Structure 1
């Protein structure tokens, strides 16, 4: 199999299962997109870009809608938070916000959100307040 972890691939969304969605990679390989990796609305039959998350020993493939690799994910998530902050100058979320609230506002997991704001805080781009995150001008 020529696919490797991290490869960008074309996906066709298949049917939903208890674990997630079956997908077709490059119209050739079957794979699974887990529910835990879905942070946007998807529909059966739709096409999207995905990334090979894991090629298992049994030949099965797991995919993600997000680039793989720590730096890729951090940068993408930090940019998402930054774009939202640039709209109003603040975001009514904190590291104590519920996962549902974060997913609703930013389409990312709480873990990804915390990594992103940690990165932005270290770069002195944001200020963390008790009830919000503020963009430093």
Structure 2
């Protein structure tokens, strides 16, 4: 196997299982995309781009639709939040008290990812955090 953790790969969704979706990785290897890591709807037969998360001892591959690596993921999520702020007149009614479902519905990311990205944007002084949500500092 010439794949390594972090590699960008082509995926074909094969079947829905109890814990996720079995996928064909690069047309040659069996992989698993876990349901608890999905923030978008996927269907059998769909082609996706993913990333190698782990190569298991049984030579099956755990994959993710998000790039592997803390820094890459935070920057991507920060951009998603900034774009959502632009589309909503600079304000999002989401904060650390929001439900995971509300964040997932609005931004297609986990609550943990949201909180990390908001922290980064706040440190960069790109947003302010209010009781009702977050506000862009550049669109005020």
Matches of residues 1-137 of structure 1 in structure 2 within 5 Å? 1-87=1-87, 88-137=89-138
Instruction: Report the alpha carbon displacement of residue 70 of structure 1 after superposing the two structures with TM.
Output: 0.5
Q: TM-score scaled by structure 1?
A: 0.98
Q: Which segments of 5 or more consecutive residues in structure 1 lack a partner in the other structure?
A: none
What is the alpha-carbon distance in structure 2 between the residues aligned to residue 42 and residue 56 of structure 1?
A: 23
Output the CA distance in 2 between the equivalents of 1:132 and 1:84: 13
Aligned-residue RMSD, C-alpha: 0.7
Query: What per-residue deviation string (whole Å, max 9, x for no partner) do you get for residues 35-63 of structure 1?
Result: 01110111100101000011112322100
Alpha-carbon distance between aligned partners in 1 of 2:133 and 2:103, rounded to the nearest angstrom: 12
**Cα deviation digits, residues 97-116 of structure 1 (max 9, x gap):** 00000000000000000000
Following the alignment from structure 2 to structure 1, what is the Cα–Cα distance between the partners of residues 59 and 13?
Answer: 19
What is the aligned residue count?
137
Matched residue SS, 2:43: coil
**Residues in 2 aligned to 1:82 and 1:14: alpha-carbon distance in whole angstroms:** 34
Q: Structure 2: give runs of 5+ residues left out of the alignment.
A: none
Deviation beyond 6 Å, 4+ runs, structure 1: none
